[in-house]
Amino acid sequence: MRIVLVGPPGAGKGTQAAFLAKNLSIPHISTGDLFRANISQGTALGVEAKGYMDRGELVPDEVTIGMAKDRMEQSDAEGGFLLDGFPRNVSQAEALDVMLKAAGMKLDAVLDLEVEEDEVVKRIAGRRICRNDSSHVFHVSYAAPKTEGVCDKCGGELYQRGDDTEDTVRNRLDVYHTQTEPIIDYYKAQGLVVTISALGEVNEITQRAMDALQK
Ligand code: ADP
């Protein structure tokens, strides 16, 4: 299966993507994670991406599309993939279509995670992420780790993402509305969109997503 996950920052895309990818036996491809890996390794791409990310802006398409394409062309993605954070604007969606068409492939579904803005701001402000694995996500009040600053799952160090501050979050939400939301209409025109609510327990949402994708 080839699936695109969309939804505002804080909708739980990363958390759901990790479970769904496991259930469906396809790799989880997150452009945000790819950028963060480049930043921590100090690559030229990471240096370029960091400023945009810290401001909550999109990293330019020239950089992003090439990076996503390289990842999708790796052998583990031959049988399918779950894209998280890509495409993030209409020109990226068009580039993805061109790329897939050239390979004789197409998308099977676009899963849209719906959650209101107040909830998103609350989730992001308290979010803490494990340095070892970005799918190990905690929240200072909703899902606190047993020991502050330590991941329950692997003992890794928990940190707050540099772009999870209030000002940057507002900007990321603006960018989501103006640049990313239009891809939902773009994919609706192709009949690919399934929308589910991203409110509730993590495993409930995973089940909702699996049910929606089965159809
Ligand atoms: P979230 O969905 O919570 O905002 P991500 O980890 O997906 O978090 O993205 C973090 C940041 O990485 C974005 O705000 C943006 O700067 C950059 N980024 C990730 N994916 C893309 C993309 N497809 N195009 C441009 N920038 C991107």
Give the domain CATH number at 87.
Answer: 3.40.50.300
Q: How many angstroms is it from 98 CA to the middle of ligand 1?
A: 21
Indicate whether 153 pLDDT > 90.
yes
Inter-residue contact 19 to 13 (CB < 8 Å):
no
Of the residues 59, 128, 133, which should be mutated to test ligand 1's pocket, given the most ligand atoms within 8 Å of the CB?
A: 59
Average pLDDT over every residue of 147-156: 96
Residues whose CB is less than 8 angstroms from the CB of residue 74 and which lie 6 or more positions away in sequence, other chains included = none
Q: Report the nearest-CA residue for atom 1 of ligand 1.
A: 9
Distance CA 124, CA 119 (A): 9
pTM of the model: 0.91
Which sequence positions are flagged as catalytic? 13, 88, 127, 161, 172
Q: How many angstroms is it from 188 CA to the middle of ligand 1?
A: 22
Q: For the stretch 146-165, what's the b/e string if a residue is b when 16 or more beta carbons lie within 10 angstroms of its beta carbon?
A: eeeeebeeeebebeebebbe
Indicate whether 81 pLDDT > 90.
yes
Q: How many angstroms is it from 106 CA to the middle of ligand 1?
A: 23
**Position in ligand 1 atom list of the atom nearest CA 64:** 24
**Position in ligand 1 atom list of the atom nearest CA 7:** 2
Indicate whether 71 pLDDT > 90.
yes
Confidence tier at 135 by pLDDT (50, 70, 90): confident
Indicate whether 104 pLDDT > 90.
yes
Residue 99 tokens, joined: 């790329």
Confidence tier at 167 by pLDDT (50, 70, 90): confident
Q: What domain count does the chain have? A: 1
Task: List residues bridging with 150 in a β-sheet.
Answer: 157
- Give the per-residue pLDDT at 126: 92
Indicate whether 146 pLDDT > 90.
yes
Indicate whether 157 pLDDT > 90.
yes
Q: How many angstroms is it from 55 CA to the middle of ligand 1?
A: 11
Ligand 1 binding pocket, CB closer than 6 Å: 9-10, 13, 31-32, 35, 52-53, 56-59, 64, 85-86, 88, 92, 163, 172
Average pLDDT over every residue of 136-155: 94
Indicate whether 86 pLDDT > 90.
yes
Task: List residues bridging with 196 in a β-sheet.
Answer: 113
Mean pLDDT of the chain: 94
- Give the per-residue pLDDT at 18: 92
The range of the structural domain enclosing residue 25 comes to: 2-214
Average pLDDT over every residue of 172-200: 96
**Position in ligand 1 atom list of the atom nearest CA 8:** 2
Distance CA 191, CA 147 (A): 46
